[in-house]
Amino acid sequence: MSHHEIAVPMKAKFFSTGTKIVFAIMLAGMAAVAYRFIAGLGAATNLDDQYPWGIWIAIDVASGVALAAGGFTTALLVEIFHKDKYHAIIRPALLTAMLGYTFVAIGVTVDLGRYYNIWHVMLPDMWQGNSVLFEVGMCVMIYLTVLYIEFIPVVVERFKGKVNLPSPLSFLNGIIEWFLSIADRTLGRFVSLFVIAGVVLSCMHQSSLGTLMLIAPFKTHVLWNTPISPLLFLLSAIAVGFPMVIFESILASRSFKLKPELGILSSLARYTPALLGVYLGIKIGDITIREAWPAVLESSPQSWSWIVEMVFGVIIPIIILATPRFRKSIGGLFTAATMVILGVALNRINYFVIAYKPVYADYPYFPTFIEILVTVGFISALVLLYRACVMIFPVISVPVGQEPKKEEDGSRITSPF
Amino acid sequence: MSLDRRKFLGITALSSATLLTGSTHAHEIESKTDEVYGVLVDTVVCIGCRKCEWACNQEHGLSDKDLKSYEDKSVFKEHRRPNASAYTVVNEYRDPADSSKAYSMKVQCMHCNEPACVSACIVGALEKNELGSVDYDAWKCIGCRYCIIACPFQVPAYEYENPLTPQIRKCTFCHERVAKGESPACVSICPNEALTFGPRSKLIDLAHSRFKANPGRYHEHVYGENEVGGTSWMYLTAVDTKHTELPVLSAAPLPPLTEIIQHGIFKSFVPPLALYALLGLIMHTIGDKNEEQEVKE
Ligand code: SF4
Ligand code: SF4
Ligand code: SF4
């Protein structure tokens, strides 16, 4: 395979001004998490018997999973359909998915009242195959493992032959080196099995997230209460995958002063109007068949939220990305990608929070400051970890010959895929 | 397994739905719904004495307030719901045609025949007992609160104030007493026939005989006979239930839709494996051939 690009660790000062701000927000978020564990959900959140789920489920978990979909959509495109020109986006997308799902797992833990029992989900005698949540939990756990396995070749590439821990730990060098070389020799052969498994697992739980509320049809606003909601979840996850890759790629090139890969990104963006279009078509068909159009016009918070979700998250981005002039500009790409991302996140918030109608609703739900701080804190932590990872590992690709000055081994980059 | 006719029709309808998902698993639950115990709550004869609340709190150690304090009827001014420290409460509803006519209504977990909470629970911490109660096992529970989302009656309450060992709390149907052949604490104390404990099918007969014996006194509908697949606790009301706090629900049980989708894509494993094989095939056959094509673009 002839790639004109190689992945290299980024070189920059870790703490730029922006990074420092993000770091401070992360610390505040961690304090909020600590408060939740010490004082309990009642003190930290506005959750109660009317509204058992809030933004932690809607954003940290459901949106987190959706926005990590770039991992499986790029795997599908590049490794299964062999569109090799997009090879460079595989690793950034994989890293996003890996970190994204890690934070989904942490986010769930913060929301669970009896988090120390989470391992019960793995005990066969407590398996509850009827529970949608069980399937989601299982798939997420297995997929997270698969993502870590898929990332091993990147670690191997970076550290094989170079493990050199300082003296108190130096006895580990040999062992780690041994593991890395084993992984190097075996994984290459099996990694494609994991890649396919990752796609299958993703299709399963991305859709199942949309099955969750079907057990509560009487408590879900009609605009989102459809039996094809799992299909809509899957389609919107697939549609948001590439915009997420584009969004991150543009931000990363700005942050590390690289030239954005405009050619690759705008050609990747060609898929998005089609994918979003399918989603839009099915969504409109669904509303029509269920005769739910009056609900769109009822002028309630739900109907407005639905309209915003569809117009700003779907229709306008389709128009932008279907227009070659915009698609071929960084500004157009970035605007449209951001809108799709926010649109899908809003869809998840709508589904789990805005559309939820308690039987006896005395008041609406609005998150506490602590809830918001936890969510924002996790997003900040994710950004920082991403930055750290692309500086440690060869994730982001640069054209050959333009890689930043780096250690001796720049030549030894072979693609494990 | 003997299926009554309603159940049979239900399964037929579901089987056609399974065709859509390609699954062969119909939603099957042993039809023991007519053998289970239940309670008939007759709000027409309930006097709103709230002794049932006291008895429940005593039985479960929820409150040590004396019986006298429950005579306070000012609580009826606001609509109360069961919560983590009260498994049952008595509320009041009025006749929409004549608002001077007030009735009392005790509310608690309905102990559904096909409970949404049980189907939803991720670890099987909730289970429908063969005697009729829907039991909770705190040891299994992970505190996800999906059961609260699922319950169409907004029953399960959660100990939000407990940071370490919060539990789901709801009416237990005094299952230990019932297993010993006793009636639940609330039923035992009820001074009149507002609460009747017995085999569910007998309670339905009893309801209909009350309709017959008292023409015009009842809205002749046994709430819970069919709602969401039937419930162990059932209600008789003086007015159409839509004027009471009882939610308007259809007869179809809630779990089948999600369970069919789940069984279709998960339990049988056929669709995921087929997808796996298909993707493997594509990965293998497309190969690197289209690379040249790609370069041109
Ligand atoms: S009323 Fe709610 S909590 Fe009780 S059994 Fe039915 S679904 Fe479960
Ligand atoms: S909160 Fe507990 S009982 Fe309720 S669904 Fe979750 S694990 Fe089951
Ligand atoms: S004890 Fe009986 S009569 Fe008194 S409030 Fe409860 S159900 Fe009604």
pLDDT 10s digits, B127-158: 999 999 999 999 999 999 999 999 999 999 99
pLDDT-derived band at B287 (thresholds 50, 70, 90) equals: low
User: Any idea what DSSP says for residue B183?
Assistant: P
Cα distances from A177 to residues A35, A149, A173, A415, in angstroms, run: 41, 17, 6, 19
Same domain, residue pair B107 and B117? no
Q: Which residues of A touch B145 (CB under 8 A)?
A: 47, 52-53, 113
Alpha-carbon gap, residue A63 to A244, rounded angstroms: 12
Alpha-carbon gap, residue A310 to A243, rounded angstroms: 16
- Pairwise CB contact (< 8 Å): B247 & A218: yes
pLDDT-derived band at B288 (thresholds 50, 70, 90) equals: low
Same domain, residue pair B98 and B191? yes
Pocket test residue of B145, B154, B159, B258 for ligand 2, highest count of atoms within 8 A of CB: B145
Alpha-carbon gap, residue A398 to A234, rounded angstroms: 32
Token couple for A300 = 């309630």
Residue nearest to atom 4 of ligand 3 (CA): B49
B292: nearest Cα among A208, A327, A85, A363? A85
Model pTM score = 0.90
> Domain for residue A132, yes or no?
no
pLDDT-derived band at B75 (thresholds 50, 70, 90) equals: very high
Sequence-ordered alpha helix ranges (H) in A270-300? 271-289, 293-296
User: Any idea what DSSP says for residue A220?
Assistant: B
Same domain, residue pair B189 and B214? yes
Residue nearest to atom 6 of ligand 2 (CA): B144
pLDDT-derived band at B44 (thresholds 50, 70, 90) equals: very high
Residues 6+ apart with CB under 8 A from B97: B239
Alpha-carbon gap, residue B144 to A47, rounded angstroms: 12
Q: Is B146 in the pocket of ligand 2 (CB under 6 A)?
A: yes
Alpha-carbon gap, residue A91 to B92, rounded angstroms: 62
Q: Which residues of B touch A197 (CB under 8 A)?
A: 276
Cα distances from B173 to residues A359, B80, B136, B177, B232, in angstroms, run: 22, 20, 11, 9, 10
Same domain, residue pair B37 and B166? no
Q: What is the pLDDT of residue B235?
A: 98
CB atoms near residue A374 (< 10 Å): 29
CB atoms near residue A9 (< 10 Å): 17
Cα distances from B74 to residues A60, B62, B80, B99, in angstroms, run: 43, 21, 12, 17
Same domain, residue pair B88 and B37? yes
- Residue in chain B lying closest to A228 (CA): B261
Residue nearest to atom 2 of ligand 3 (CA): B190
Contact by Cβ (8 Å): A229, A210: yes
| Total structural domains within chain A | 1
Q: How far is the CA of A19 from the centre of ligand 2 (A)?
A: 39
Contact by Cβ (8 Å): B261, B21: yes
> Domain for residue B248, yes or no?
no
Q: What is the pLDDT of residue B10?
A: 37
- Pairwise CB contact (< 8 Å): B149 & A213: yes
Return the CATH number at B275.
3.30.70.20
- Pairwise CB contact (< 8 Å): A128 & B162: no
> Domain for residue A102, yes or no?
yes
Q: What is the pLDDT of residue A415?
A: 34
User: Any idea what DSSP says for residue B247?
Assistant: P
> Domain for residue A410, yes or no?
no
Cα distances from B286 to residues A2, B229, B291, in angstroms, run: 18, 51, 10
Token couple for A157 = 């590439």
- Pairwise CB contact (< 8 Å): A82 & B287: yes
Q: What is the pLDDT of residue B33?
A: 47
Same domain, residue pair B83 and B68? yes
Residues 6+ apart with CB under 8 A from A372: A55
Alpha-carbon gap, residue A275 to A281, rounded angstroms: 10
Alpha-carbon gap, residue A398 to A402, rounded angstroms: 6
pLDDT at B17 over 50: no
Same domain, residue pair B216 and B286? no
> Domain for residue A164, yes or no?
no
Please identify every stretch of chain A with a pLDDT value under 50, giving residue numbers as ranges.
1-2, 406-417
Domain that holds residue B44: 33-111+173-243
Contact by Cβ (8 Å): B143, A114: yes
- Pairwise CB contact (< 8 Å): B161 & A42: yes
Same domain, residue pair B141 and B221? no
> Domain for residue A85, yes or no?
yes
Phi, psi dihedrals of residue A135, rounded to the nearest 5°: -65, -45
Q: Is B112 in the pocket of ligand 1 (CB under 6 A)?
A: yes
B142 vs A1, A118, A135: nearest CB: A118
**What residues form DSSP beta bridges with B234?**
B40
pLDDT at B23 over 80: no
- The three-point CA angle A4-A7-A9 to 5° equals 145
> Domain for residue A13, yes or no?
yes
| Total structural domains within chain B | 2
Stretch (H or E) spanning B90: strand B89-95
Query: Of all residues in chain B, what percent are helix, strand and coil, respectively (each to 5)?
Result: 40, 20, 45
> Domain for residue B265, yes or no?
yes
Q: Is B122 in the pocket of ligand 2 (CB under 6 A)?
A: yes
Interface with A, mutate which of B20, B23, B85, B146 (most A CBs under 10 A): B146
pLDDT-derived band at B18 (thresholds 50, 70, 90) equals: very low
Q: Which residues of A touch B144 (CB under 8 A)?
A: 111-113, 133
CA end-to-end distance (rounded Å), chain A: 10
Token couple for A298 = 């009822």
* One-character DSSP codes across B93-128: EEETTEEEEEEEEEE----BSS-HHHHH-TT--EEE
Token couple for B174 = 């005094």
Q: Is B118 in the pocket of ligand 2 (CB under 6 A)?
A: no
Alpha-carbon gap, residue A372 to A350, rounded angstroms: 16
> Domain for residue B249, yes or no?
no
Q: How far is the CA of B67 from the centre of ligand 3 (A)?
A: 13
> Domain for residue A106, yes or no?
yes
Strand pairing class (B126-128; B134-136): antiparallel
Q: Is B125 in the pocket of ligand 3 (CB under 6 A)?
A: no
Same domain, residue pair B138 and B260? yes
Q: What is the pLDDT of residue A160?
A: 82
Alpha-carbon gap, residue A370 to A206, rounded angstroms: 28
Residues 6+ apart with CB under 8 A from A273: A317, A318, A321, A322
Q: How far is the CA of B188 from the centre of ligand 1 (A)?
A: 22
Q: Please state the ipTM of this predicted complex.
A: 0.92
- Pairwise CB contact (< 8 Å): A82 & B286: yes
Q: What is the pLDDT of residue A318?
A: 98
Same domain, residue pair B209 and B264? no
* Count of positions (residues) in chain B: 297
> Domain for residue B142, yes or no?
yes
Domain that holds residue A13: 5-119+220-399
Please check whether residue B294 touches A, CB under 8 A: yes
Same domain, residue pair B100 and B194? yes
> Domain for residue A249, yes or no?
yes
Q: Is B260 in the pocket of ligand 3 (CB under 6 A)?
A: no
Q: What is the pLDDT of residue B30?
A: 41
Q: Which of residues 155-214 of B touch A (CB under 8 A)?
A: 156-166
Which residue is it, tokens 């981005």?
A317
Token couple for A215 = 């057990």
Residue nearest to atom 8 of ligand 2 (CA): B121
* CA B199 to centroid of chain Cα atoms: 17
Same domain, residue pair B164 and B180? no
Question: Amino acid identity, residue B258?
Answer: T
Percent of chain B at pLDDT > 90 equals: 71
